């Protein structure tokens, strides 16, 4: 019986990892961190971060986006809320993302390492949409990629914490009930 539970949980984590290949922000720890060490006025948005958000929108555009709202917190932090239909599950998906750009990979790593990841599982989903978008705007494969997922059976929903070099994406995803 225990083996079946372990296999079921592993399958659920895999599905969550596949679904999270899109975008999403955990409900905890969503306050703006110190990428504001690079803090700039909203008019002085980080160009790479702005390209990242625009490219993410284009990349997700083929997945039937029904809503897309971008709110800049400062020049190096942006919140993206979107709604789309999942092509596999045929259910509406609501996502909230906080996307942060740090001055360095080390600063981003320190931020991610210090987040409360209780209930999260590290994954190796290096083929995520975020990685594809990053490669598209920089022309380089990320040297640091971290992905943590937290599956919530109630909802259903999941959260992700992702680091793609100096960019951190905090995602929260909920699926419409059938």
Three-state secondary structure readout of 75-106? CCEEEEEEEEECCCCCCEEEEEEEEEECCCHH
Residue 178 to residue 31: CA distance in whole angstroms: 32
Q: What is the pLDDT of residue 91?
A: 82
> What does the block give as tokens for 163?
């680091």
Sheet of 121-123, strand order: 65-74, 77-85, 92-101, 167-175, 157-164, 145-152, 121-123
C-alpha to C-alpha distances, 92 to 18, 22, 138, 176, nearest whole angstrom: 16, 13, 31, 5
Which domain, by its residues, includes 95?
2-175
Q: What are phi and psi of 37, to 5 degrees?
A: -60, -25
Q: What are phi and psi of 89, to 5 degrees?
A: -85, -15
Query: By the 8 A CB rule, do 166 and 20 touch?
Result: no
Q: What is the pLDDT of residue 43?
A: 63
Chain centre distance of CA 156? 17
Residues in the chain: 178
Task: State which residues of the chain have pLDDT below 70.
Answer: 1-43, 62-64, 178
C-alpha to C-alpha distances, 127 to 44, 45, 56, nearest whole angstrom: 31, 27, 14
Q: What is the pLDDT of residue 3?
A: 35
> What does the block give as tokens for 96?
């909230």
Structural domain count, the chain: 1
> Model confidence over 68-111: pLDDT tens digits?
999 999 999 999 999 988 777 788 889 999 999 999 999 999 99
Residue 58 to residue 71: CA distance in whole angstroms: 17
The whole-model pTM stands at 0.74
Query: By the 8 A CB rule, do 93 and 173 touch?
Result: yes
Q: What is the pLDDT of residue 29?
A: 42
């Amino acid at each position: 019986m225990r083996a079946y539970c372990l296999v079921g949980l592993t399958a659920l984590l895999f599905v969550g990892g596949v679904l999270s290949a899109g975008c999403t922000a955990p409900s905890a720890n969503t306050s703006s961190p110190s990428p504001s060490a690079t803090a700039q006025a909203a008019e002085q948005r980080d160009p790479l971060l702005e390209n990242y958000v625009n490219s993410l929108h284009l990349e997700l555009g083929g997945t039937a986006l029904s809503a897309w709202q971008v709110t800049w917190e400062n020049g190096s932090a942006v919140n993206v809320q979107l709604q789309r239909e999942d092509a596999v599950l045929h259910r509406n998906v609501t996502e909230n993302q906080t996307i942060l750009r740090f001055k360095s990979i080390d600063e981003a790593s320190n931020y991610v390492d210090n987040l409360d990841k209780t209930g999260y599982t590290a994954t190796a989903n290096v083929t995520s949409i975020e990685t594809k978008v990053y490669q598209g705007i920089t022309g380089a494969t990320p040297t640091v990629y971290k992905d943590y997922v937290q599956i919530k059976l109630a909802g259903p929903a999941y959260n992700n914490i992702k680091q793609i070099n100096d960019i951190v994406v905090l995602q929260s995803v909920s699926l419409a009930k059938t």
